[in-house]
Amino acid sequence: MTTPPGAQGNPSDGPDEPRPDRWSDLGRPPLNAAALRRALVRDGGLWSEVDVVQRTGSTNSDLVALATDEKADEGVVLVAEEQNAGRGRLDRQWTAPARSGLFFSVLLRPTGVPVERWGWLPLLTGVAVATALSKVAGVDTALKWPNDLLVTVGGEERKTGGILAERAGNDAVVVGIGINVTLREDELPVPGAGSLALAGATTTDRDTVLRAVLRSLEQWYEKWRAAGGDPAASGLQETYAAGCATLGRVVRAELPGGTSITGEAVAVDGDGRLVLATEEGVQQPVGAGDIVHLRPA
């Protein structure tokens, strides 16, 4: 593949420009790109390339551009040590100090899976990430529908990560993942944010965490694709529901267009939509929107 924007050797950085921030925080060492490639890229595996760039605007935007121009194969992973225009859902900004988290995107081409099932990819990614974080970092990670990763800090539920999936051309999806790893209280961007460190993670080694997340994502993606994207047959729908902190709660769904629906979240249906039971006795599926947890399950 071609070198992604922002990669080492990017002319915008200048060949002799010093990088005074590379080791400015010894508690946040840079990722080891060569070691990541050795660990993750293998014959017959999903991951075909792992690139680590020092900084970029958005790894999602970079990969979407490459995929749209047919310059990237399935399985490309693009990681940024720092993003200055990272995006969440609804074009919200995602910013954090350099090397304080994992900010990366992956390119998937789910051939053999009907397009109408591609909407499960962000939910699948959530399951994969939560599974990996619980296993490798000892952090109980819950999922807030549709794409937030929640951890508990001081008895309070906080968002420590998010997922953004975007179409790229006719046959590809780029999935972006952001995880706060070592952010301290005084660095949190908004109230309600958290990090693995604040949640008492047993490890905050980003190489270790990234490897675990990508291996888990590969396993879930291959299982889902082998089932033709069927969320029930692949076990994805059941596993997502089991780890979803939104189910069983009274929530408010703030919908596009400025309207909202309030009700109890009772299920995630076969299309990945959140089903709300309203006071009027109607079960209303929600396919897109912001979800506000109004009270605990």
pLDDT tens digits along 272-288: 999 999 999 999 999 99
Q: Could you tell me the pTM of the whole model? A: 0.89
Q: Residues, the chain, total?
A: 297
Neighbouring C-alpha atoms within 13 Å toward the C-beta of 186: 0
Assign 104 a pLDDT band (cuts: 50, 70, 90): very high
Pair 137, 202: CB distance under 8 Å = yes
Pair 112, 228: CB distance under 8 Å = yes
pLDDT over 60 at 21, yes or no: no
Number of neighbours of residue 193 by Cβ within 10 angstroms: 18
Task: Please classify residue 116 by burial: count the beta carbons closer than 10 Å to its beta carbon, then call 0-12 exposed, 13-18 middle and 19+ buried.
Answer: exposed
Instruction: State whether the Cα torsion 21-23-29-32 is positive or negative.
Output: positive
Residue in the structure block whose two tokens are 């970029």 = 56
pLDDT digits (tens, 9 = 90+) for 183-211: 999 999 888 899 999 999 999 999 999 99
pLDDT digits (tens, 9 = 90+) for 27-52: 799 999 999 999 999 999 999 999 99
Burial code (b: 16+ CB inside 10 Å, e: under 16) for 42-81 equals: eeeebbbbbbbbbbbebbbbbbbebbeeeebebbbbbbbb
pLDDT over 50 at 65, yes or no: yes
* CA angle, 156 then 260 then 285, to 5°: 90
